[in-house]
Structure 1
Amino acid sequence: MTKEKIGFIGVGLMGHGMAKNILAKGWELTVMGHRNRAPVENLLSLGAKEAKTPREMAGAVDVVMLCVTGSVQVEAILDGPEGLRAAGRPLLVIDCSTSDPSVTLKLAEKLAPEGITLIDAPLGRTPAEAEAGTLDVMAGGDDETFARAEPILAAFSRRVIHTGPTGSGHTMKLLNNFLSLGYAALYSEALMIGAKTGIDGKTFDSVIRGGRMDCDFYRSFAGWFVERNPDAHKFTISNALKDVTYLASLGNAIGVANPVGTAVRNSYGLACGLGHGDAYVPRLADIVAEANAG
């Protein structure tokens, strides 16, 4: 069977590795760059083509992968005179961003009469796994569309999990990130209290690592406070705030109280308010410590 032509918008920290693996698995790929030309040039050297606008891309491919910041960016790519919709062609759009599920559902309903099918397939794990082709994917969509998308998603993943109808992938991603970002907030406060009472980070790590509270995310986070690895868990605090804000919006929409979510959001809101939005999440440990230095 002939493989579909794939477009990819958002070849940044996560997207570059994903796109590279799609190319390596034999799909014809067209990419669109943003500010950083380095990943685009690398993909072109590996055989990708380049489109200058979403509309141009939509005229050349069957499936468009999106790996951008969130719902605002997804809507901008779809709409406008140079957006995907302007090409007037049937498309499958796979949103791998961490987006607001309510926006995803509204977009899917709006696009369907135009022959554009939108599904959500957000990601678990980090840019290192994107490069290795071992991401986790949480995919929402009907059975037929999921079956069409799964081989493409499998090109850069170790697990592709069908979470249910469109929107469920983004919901599950918010829950996943709530857990990981909540852990990061807990680690940061625990480290601060430990330091205040004479327990340094290495002692803390020697107890947690290998014990019941150890996990892959903890080890990624500890890459900063133990090893001072500047690339430990390459996910920014501003993106963390966006995700826990989406979760708060979801909670409001369904009428539930999530007080722990509010506390976690406040941790990232404070860090961003202090000017640390571009720092990676493990730096939260330093920010909490500095805020309690007095």
Structure 2
Amino acid sequence: MEKIGFVGVGLMGHGMAANLLAAGHPLTVVAHRNRGPVDDLVSRGAVEAADLAALARASDIVHICAPGSPQVEAIVEVLAAEMLKGGIVVDCSTSNPVSTEALAARLAERGIDWVDAPLGGTPVQAEAGELAAMVGATPEVFARIEPVLRTWAGTIAHVGGPAAGHKMKLLNNFLAMGYGALYSEALALAEKAGLGTDTFDSVIRGSRMDCGFYQTFMGYAVEGNREAHKFTLTNALKDMTYLSAMAGGTGVANPIGAAIRNSYALAVNTGGDGAEDYVPHLVDYIARANGVDRG
């Protein structure tokens, strides 16, 4: 069995790591700020490394779940120096493809392969081993890594070579964050026009305009469940900023992407708690900007 290292056993990473352990992979983890997930995984049989360098030396394959490219770059700096030739780095973060391409090239010089496998799904799906993965890897590396990915992913799409997974993930999040911005503006308008949120929802729910994202978003907007969709406003803004860079790099006009990014920038930069407020909470910021009191 491949020896796995896991960096970032947080909301998504804990479930993924637990499934790797359950499948029989020797697992090494490293602590960051929250000890709870690390202690739980150690109780299940994982080994805690003293530092990132020790984790790299103990692992054939290292998974990374980090907030974004700056953190991934810092982690890879250590992995590139410490992992043995023939190892694989799997970045499950939503990262900037420009950075991804540079990291893959640097690791290749060291004889270390690269996989980008950003995630689709929720922490509940992570625990159940039912995440989706959009994978960028060479065919040879994908053949080796696929059985490992299947321990925590229910759906795997191999979309191309290194960085292709991150490009596809940004397109996926373009749609998702766009839904969030659109729903928030529509609900502000519904309130201001005298229809209200409940009336709006009674027409859209179950119609052709309904979808899974709509239902989790309305889990907060209608039902008040603050944890209906645990993806932070800060991450949404980060992803839309990466999308803008991708569009600029390809020369594609991206006016709708810019408008979506501005919706999240408004929230984050006008008192939003980006560490605690999630995408469905955007509805409150757009409402306040339009003089609507959602109570």
Q: TM-score, normalised by structure 1?
A: 0.96
Quote the residue 2:57 is aligned against. 59
Residue 247 (structure 1) aligned to one of 224, 243, 249: 243
* 245-254 or 46-55, larger mean C-alpha shift: 46-55
1:69 corresponds to: 67
Alpha-carbon distance in structure 1 between the residues aligned to 2:154 and 2:195 = 38
Q: Contact 1:55/1:85 (CA < 8 Å) preserved in 2? A: no
Aligned to 2:208: 212
State the superposition RMSD in angstroms. 1.1
> Tell me, what secondary structure is at the counterpart of 2:58?
coil
- Are 1:192 and 1:288, in contact at CA under 8 Å, matched by a contact in 2? yes
Tell me if 1:25 matches 2:20. no
Per the alignment, residue 92 of structure 1 pairs with 88
Report what 1:45 is aligned to. 43
Match of 1:98, SS? Answer: coil
Q: CA separation in 1, counterparts of 2:288 and 2:31?
A: 37
1:88: Cα distance to partner? Answer: 5.0
Secondary structure at the counterpart of residue 229 of structure 1:
coil
Aligned counterparts, 1:1-294, within 5 A: 3-79=1-77, 83-90=78-85, 91-276=87-272, 277-278=274-275, 279-293=277-291
Which stretches in structure 2 are left out of the alignment for 5+ residues?
none
Task: Kindly state the Cα deviation for residue 118 of structure 1 after the two structures are TM-superposed.
Answer: 1.4
State how far apart, in whole Å, the 2-side matches of 1:88 and 1:260 are.
Answer: 42
Separation in 2, partners of 1:293, 1:66: 42
AA at the equivalent of 1:106: A
How far is 1:30 from its partner? 0.7
- 1:21 deviates by 1.1
What secondary structure sits across from 1:284 in the alignment?
A: helix
DSSP-derived class of the 1:59 partner: helix
Distance in 1, Cα, partners of 2:258 & 2:138: 32
Secondary structure of 1:52 counterpart = coil
| TM-score of the pair, normalised by structure 2 | 0.96
Q: CA deviation at 1:255?
A: 1.0
C-alpha displacement of 1:107? 0.9
Residues 254-288 of structure 1: per-residue CA shift (max 9 Å, x gap): 11110000000000111110121221000000110
CA distance in 1, matches of 2:131, 2:210: 20
The amino acid of 2:63's aligned partner reads: M
Query: Percent identity over the alignment?
Result: 56
Checking the alignment, whether the CA contact within 8 Å between 2:59 and 2:83 is kept in structure 1 is no
Amino acid at match of 1:85: A
Task: Give the residue type in structure 2 aligned to 1:86.
Answer: A
- How many residue pairs match? The answer is 289
